Amino acid sequence: MSKRLRNAELCADCSVTEPRWASVNRGVLICDECCSVHRSLGRHSSQVRHLMHTPWPSTQLQMVQTLYSNGANSIWEHSLLDPASVMSGKRKANPQDKLHPNKSEFIRAKYQMLAFVHRMPCREDDSLTAKDLSKQLHSSVRTGNLETCLRLLSLGAQANFFHPEKGNTPLHIAAKAGQVSQAELLTVYGADPGAPDSNGKTPIDYAREAGHHDLADRLVEIQYELTDRLAFYLCGRKPDHKNNQHFIVPQMADSSLDLSELAKAAKKKLQSLSNHLFEELAMDVYDEVDRRETDAVWLATQNHSTLVTETTVVPFLPVNPEYSSTRNQGRQKLARFNAHEFATLVIDILSDAKRRQQGNSVASPKDNVELILKSVGVRHCSDSQDNDQPDYDSVASDEDTDQELPSSKGDRTKSLDSDLSDSPITMQEYLDVKTALSASEAKIQHLMKANNNLSDELRLMQKKASKLEKQSSMPESDYDNTFNDSEMDDSGLCRRGRLRSSGWLGEGTSIPELDDVEMESDPSLPSTEDVIRKTEQITKNIQELLRAAQDNKHDSFIPCSERIHVAVTEMAALFPKKPRSETVRSSLRLLTSSAYRLQSECRKAVPSEGCPGPDMQLVTQQVIQCAYDIAKAAKQLVTITTKENTN
């Protein structure tokens, strides 16, 4: 379809005519000036595309146009439509306003702080509110009313919500009903095209069964969006998914060079990263590809004779507040890579993504991503040319103008490459798998020992807490146990919207050491005794899960994870919705997101009918990592409340 829009279109933020950019996840059109501010917010707030000079999936462009023409902007400016807002002095930016500070401050308030979005009435249990909204979303996607679904998503409905009675997600419903634009919107907000329903069927399956073959093909593209985007960035073409070709791994033009020792070490580190850390790195590289490509479009479309310094390129990835400072620093370092170095890293990620999908994975969850970012320079990809990677393109080295990772959606995808002529497993591969299994068993033993130590520490803290003056009343808890998209879908790499979402916060976010944090006394925190009691319950359930892992009782994973999730929810409910301490907030995020991720990982232990059996070694390793994160967060919350309540 044509990308040209009617001249009557106005910028959603300042009302300038003929906007040339779109914010995909916000469903609005914006002008060049406002786009420069959107880009500085980061993709987790706004995902921008040029209407004419950026390749668009036609169905995604149609979705944005439909949202804009049906008033999606009123969702983000809800309170400004109230006549009372004029009396209070609140107003949107206009064409005559200066970009800085007028337009930029308005845009940040509108999209980053969501200052004008309609707020739901306060309720005692916010998690119930999110569940109700998600159920409404589940019902709404069978119709074509896009703006209703965007409004529900803006209020906290979850695109990946699994309906307990229906046994499926909103994307299953939209796919079966052939609602193409609804499917596009849901996937922008992180919905997983490869998520199985209670019958083991994915949204792709339902689209095909209902005869919506174009939609099914599009969902497959979305599933592989991350690796497709990286391949297209290097060689200008994408895999032929219709013929079961799901990866293109380009080759560096200077492949005759020998690998340096540092480059070899970097590649080895990349291959030994846990799926979770590998996903995070791949997502960050995706964002850097987007930044670089959008910069190129930006520079090519500006009137350089009148270009002002206010609207410039974005020099590096903006900070995502949901990521740790270490990860944000690593993301920004990606901008320092020259074209050759960055292409090398992209090729390594594509190669390893393909290897991981095919199950040849060895994991070491604590390996260092930093070494990879420092040392991918002078290397080539001749060692990527094995029997399972026949598709190569030559990549020039001159300057170019941003669990389980088979695709943008994780290893829930069970499809294989068309090139199945892999060589027989080598002795080295066998030894690698055997070593990884031994490491997994050793980690189980280590974690069980750590949890026993945690139990001892908890008993000691409980004795200390008994000496404290008991609080006569508990503050009513309204801690928000809802999850954003980045927490909801730990195994996905769909980069659309999750960064907002996105669309992926916190599972690996590091928590600052307590001794390094200046914490004010927070009188709203619960008593130490209550926190210890809930932590003991969590620890007991974790130990049960680890024993099941040690005894290979994989059918016990799901009930164990459900008990852990209940205990975590009860513990999180002790805390206020917005604790004063950032450390408390970070620990609660890690606690709740890890519990949700644990449930997701444990579900993978149950084979789906008609699908290949899961790689239990990988599943067990991910389950252990989730349990470790939960125990770590619970221990920190005990330490924090003990310190606070003794002050």
Taking the C-alpha atoms of 137, 140, 146 and 151 in order, what is their torsion angle to the nearest 10 degrees?
A: -40
Residue 121 has pLDDT above 80, yes or no: no
Percent of the chain with pLDDT over 70: 67
* Cβ within 8 Å of residue 163, ≥6 positions away: 134, 135, 138, 169
What is the pLDDT averaged over residues 513-526?
A: 50
Q: What is the pLDDT of residue 109?
A: 94
DSSP designation for 10: B
What would the two tokens of residue 631 be?
A: 């125990």
- More confident call, 504 vs 598: 598
Banded pLDDT at 525 (limits 50, 70, 90)? confident
Q: Do strands 21-23 and 28-30 pair parallel, antiparallel, or not at all (unpaired)?
A: antiparallel
Residue 487 has pLDDT above 50, yes or no: no
Residue 326 has pLDDT above 60, yes or no: yes
Q: Which helix (H) or strand (E) holds 37?
A: helix 32-41
Q: Is 610 helix (H, G, I), strand (E, B) or coil?
A: coil
Residue 103 has pLDDT above 80, yes or no: yes
Could you give all domains of the chain from N- to C-terminal order, each with its CATH number? Answer: 21-112 (1.10.220.150), 227-412 (no CATH), 429-467+506-646 (1.20.120.330)
Give burial (CB, 10 Å; 0-12/13-18/19+) of 33: buried
Amino acid at 434: K
Q: How far is CA 289 from CA 132, 224, 335, 394, 400, in A?
A: 37, 15, 10, 18, 10
Q: What is the pLDDT of residue 376?
A: 46
Cα separation, 68 vs 175, whole angstroms: 23
- More confident call, 379 vs 34: 34
Q: Is 582 helix (H, G, I), strand (E, B) or coil?
A: helix
Residue 197 — left, alpha, or beta (φ > 0 → left; ψ -120 to 50 → alpha)? beta
Integer-rounded Cα radius of gyration of the chain: 25
pTM of the predicted model over 0.85: no
Q: Are 65 and 21 spatial neighbours (Cβ–Cβ below 8 Å)? A: no
Task: Tell me the per-residue pLDDT of 488-505, one tens digit each, with 9 for 90 and over.
Answer: 333 333 433 332 222 222
Mean pLDDT across the chain, nearest whole number? 76
Q: Please state, as a whole number, how many other Cβ atoms lie within 10 Å of the Cβ of residue 16.
A: 18
- More confident call, 39 vs 609: 39
